[in-house]
Every structure is written in structure tokens, then in C-alpha cells.
Amino acid sequence: MVLCFLFMLFFYGQAQDYELLLKGGHVIDTKNNIDGPMDIGISDGKVSAVARSIPRGKAAKTIDVSGMYVTPGLIDMHTHVFMGNEPDAYIADGGTSVMPDGFTFRAGVTTVVDAGSSGWRNFPLFKAQTIDKAKTRVLALLNIVGTGMKSRFEEQDVSDMNPTMTAYAIKKQYPDILVGIKAAHYWGDFTQVDLAVEAGKKAGVPVMVDFGEHRPPNSIEALFMEHLRPGDIFTHTYSNGPDDRETIVDENGKLKPFILKAQKRGIIFDMGHGGGAFTWKQAVPATEQGFKADVVSSDLHTQSMNSGMKDLSNVISKFMALGISLTDAIDRATWAPAKVINRPDLGNLSVGSEADVAVFTMREGDFGFLDVRRKRLKGDKKLETELTLRAGKVVWDLNGIATEDFKE
């Protein structure tokens, strides 16, 4: 009995405050205004301490991250991950979507938002097939079209754009997963956007608009000032296909005057890089004239994954090659999107929040960043993902910093 008591006392004396300690890193957590050296203690899958110095002895396991940047797990606000085998489908349950886990953790991403691959009719399949099976946290914007992005033709079917059913699915059925609405690829007037906004009002969520494929293009000024609400999202910000999508920078290289006004009004500009939607021709002059996309995102799918996009860490590095600071770029892939999708529990390292964490090395050297026109902008810095934690667990470890040395 006494022995048992002593043993327990000994055990308690040894008990550590944290399961995991990330020690010596430079933390960037814009929600909490942290941009400097900090240690992070993690227990039970949650951030349990953020402090200037936490002694090694307080943690069961310590990972030395000195010389590295520690950020909240990245949020990729624009992806297509409803991968499947439906023969006639392209993005909804189709082969143009990808499975998320092969792209996320190796790029420091812990949360993806699927941007309207599914609608209310096929979201249950998407959930069962992908969301429930993925290790990545998968959230989604529900397409205003009931069948989501099944084919370009079904996406034109106004009779299947149902604000009531869409809002019902978001507000009542899947409020933890569905964070907004998507309107995309519509060839007509403002009907689709207006129906999406109607659904957005009913459900109390933002609408993301991909405003391409109108010939001639519809006015984006009217979109920003008359049709969308503050907090709604315009994606493919730096796209340059003026025949069917109005650009933010005109043919003389001038940022259109209403763009900054729209941003001030609260319209959110999302990068949505993709396979065809990021050009230096738009991004360079826009940046020079004081405009930056609010959110940095990938538009991940099979047509973008091996192109200039590659992964979100590459897209952030590319944003930095435009002259944007690391802290600012990280903000636009963590706390900024968390706010846009009304998920303030994500994108930060506040004590008590789920321990989704990314650790990056800043590589220095000669790098090139490609746009969708195969034009290259050079840069001398590139983020590389050393370590990714999802709910406190190591899900990516590039160089084994969380492992033990091998002894023969």
C-alpha cells in the first residue's frame, strides 16, 4: 500500500505539463499579434501554452525548431477535393478533383475548403466518400447548383439553383462543415449570383463567386457594388482572360479605380491560383499599385497541381516574390481565411485551440515562380514545410526532426 502510494507520488512528480513542446521557433500568429521567438506546448491535441521560454523538462517530447517559422496550420480556402469515379462528371465525384491528404500536410495545410465541387444533392456522397475519410480537415462551400460541378452544362441549370435547399443543408444539416456558398462557371447574367446571395442571406454565410465564362464579360463593378454583400468573396483575383472575365487591372496596366473601393466595402479577394487563374500580368501591377488579395489560396485540382501552382506553400512563396512580407503572406493563409469563413477557432494558436501547426524552413537561393502563362518571376526565398501537426499529431516530418537518431 505504502509502496503503491510512493510509486504514485513518484509518477506524479515526473508528470510533465505538455505532451509536446515546439522549442526555439519564430511564431507567426497574426490573430494574437505574435511575430517573434516563442515556444509552444501541446497537450490533448490542443495548444496549451505559448510562452517566450518553456523549459524542456516540462514536456514528454521536445522538438527543436530553432531557425524555423511556426505558424497555425494553413487554411487553403479554395480547393477541389470531391474526387471520384462518376464517368460523366468532371469536378463533382470526378477525376479533376484530387484527394486532399497527398497535397495538404506536405505543404503545411491542415484545413481545406472545397469550393463548390458539390451541391446539396451530392454533398452527402462527398461527405461519406471524402470528408469523413480524410485526415485533413475538409470544410466546404456548397454550390448553388444542386449537382455541384458535375459538368459545365448542368452548372447552367437555373432550375437546379435552389436557395432554400442550399440554405437548409448549410444551416440545419451540416453547419459544422458547410461554411459558405459557391457560384461559378455560369454563362448568363447575374441570376446565379443573386440566387447564391439569397441562399447566403438565408443561411447567414458568405458567397464565393467565380465570375468567368460570360461572353462578353459581366461588369465586376456591378458585382462588387450592387450584387455582393460585404464579406462575400471574389475568386481568381489575378486571372487574365479578358474575353470572358473582367480583369482587375486594365489593358494599360492600371488597377481599376473601383477595386480598392470594393475591398474597402468588404468584398474579399481570393487568389484561387488554379491552372489558369494567376498571371503576373495582373498580379505585378496590382501589387505595385497597392492592392493585395485578402486570401492566398491554391484552387487545387488535377489541372493545377503540376503547373505553376504546385501547392499552397509554393503559392505563398510566390506571393512573397511579389514583395509581400512573410508575416503578411502567412496571415492571408491562416487568420484571414478563418475570419472569412467565420471559423475563428481555426487559423490561430490561441491557448485552447486545436493544435494544427505548420513549421517552415525559409530556403534561400535562386528560385523561379511560374504563372499560368509559363512566365517566370525570380525569387530568393522559398518556404519548405518541415513539420505539420494536425490536432497535436505529427502528420508530416520532412527531415525527421520529430524522430530519434538511428543507432546500429
Partner 1 sequence: MIRFRPLIMILELFDLKITREWISLILLFFSICIQAQEIDLLIKNGHVVDVKNNKDTISDVSIANGKILQVAPYISDKNAKKVIDASGLYVVPGLIDPHTHVFVGSKPNKFADGNNSLSPDDFSFKAGVTTVVDAGTSGWRNFPLFKTQVIDESKTRILAFLNIAAYGMTGDDLQHDLNEMNVAKTSEMILNYPETIVGVKIGHFEGKVWAPFDRALEVGTLTNRPLFVECHLPEYTLKEQLDLMRPGDMITHAFENISERTPVVDDEGRVLPYVLAAEKRGVLFDVGHGGAGFWFDQGIPSVEQGFWPNSFGTDLHRFSMNGGMKDMLNLMSKFLNMGMPLKEVLARGSWYPAKAIKREDLGNLSVGSIADIAVIRVKEGSFGYIDAKNNLLKGDQKLEAELTIKDGKVVWDLNGLAAKPIK
Q: Give the integer Cα–Cα distance in Å for 264 and 260.
A: 6
Amino acid at 18: Y
Smallest separation, CB 288 to partner 1 (Å): 13
Total residues interacting with partner 1, rule: CB under 8 A: 45
Q: How would you classify residue 323: left for phi > 0, otherwise alpha for psi between -120 and 50, otherwise beta?
A: left
Q: Footprint of partner 1 on residues 171-210 (CB under 8 A)? A: none
CB under 8 A: which stretch of 39-47, 217-225, 254-262, 304-312 binds partner 1?
304-312
Asked whether position 151 contacts partner 1 by CB under 8 A, the answer is no
C-alpha cell at 92: 463533382
Asked whether position 317 contacts partner 1 by CB under 8 A, the answer is no
C-alpha cell at 304: 493545377
Instruction: Find the length of the chain.
Output: 408
Asked whether position 391 contacts partner 1 by CB under 8 A, the answer is no
- Which of residues 88 and 408 has its CB atom nearest to partner 1 in the complex? 408
Smallest separation, CB 62 to partner 1 (Å): 15
Binding flags for partner 1, 110-149, as an x/- string (CB under 8 A)? -------------------x---x----------------
CB under 8 A: which stretch of 116-124, 200-208, 278-286, 325-333 binds partner 1?
278-286
- Which of residues 260 and 398 has its CB atom nearest to partner 1 in the complex? 398
H/E run at residue 192? helix 191-203
C-alpha cell at 176: 459544422
Question: Which of residues 20, 83, 233, 316 is near partner 1 by CB under 8 A?
Answer: 83
Taking CB atoms within 8 Å and a gap of at least 24, the contacts of 380-385 are 381/317, 381/320, 381/321, 382/314, 382/317, 383/69, 383/108, 383/313, 383/314, 383/316, 383/317, 383/320, 384/313, 384/360, 385/105, 385/106, 385/107, 385/108, 385/313, 385/358, 385/359, 385/360
C-alpha cell at 338: 478563418
Asked whether position 285 contacts partner 1 by CB under 8 A, the answer is no
Task: List the beta strands (DSSP E) in 44-151.
Answer: 46-51, 59-64, 69-72, 74-79, 109-119, 137-143
Smallest separation, CB 336 to partner 1 (Å): 26
Asked whether position 102 contacts partner 1 by CB under 8 A, the answer is yes
CB under 8 A: which stretch of 103-111, 155-163, 252-260, 348-356 binds partner 1?
103-111
Bridge partner list, 74: 109
C-alpha cell at 385: 514545410
> 243: helix, coil or strand?
coil
Smallest separation, CB 327 to partner 1 (Å): 24
- Which of residues 164 and 399 has its CB atom nearest to partner 1 in the complex? 399
Asked whether position 242 contacts partner 1 by CB under 8 A, the answer is no
> Which positions lie near partner 1, rule CB under 8 A?
83-85, 93, 95, 98-99, 101-103, 105-106, 129, 133, 280-281, 284, 302, 305-306, 308, 310, 366-371, 374-378, 395-401, 403-406, 408
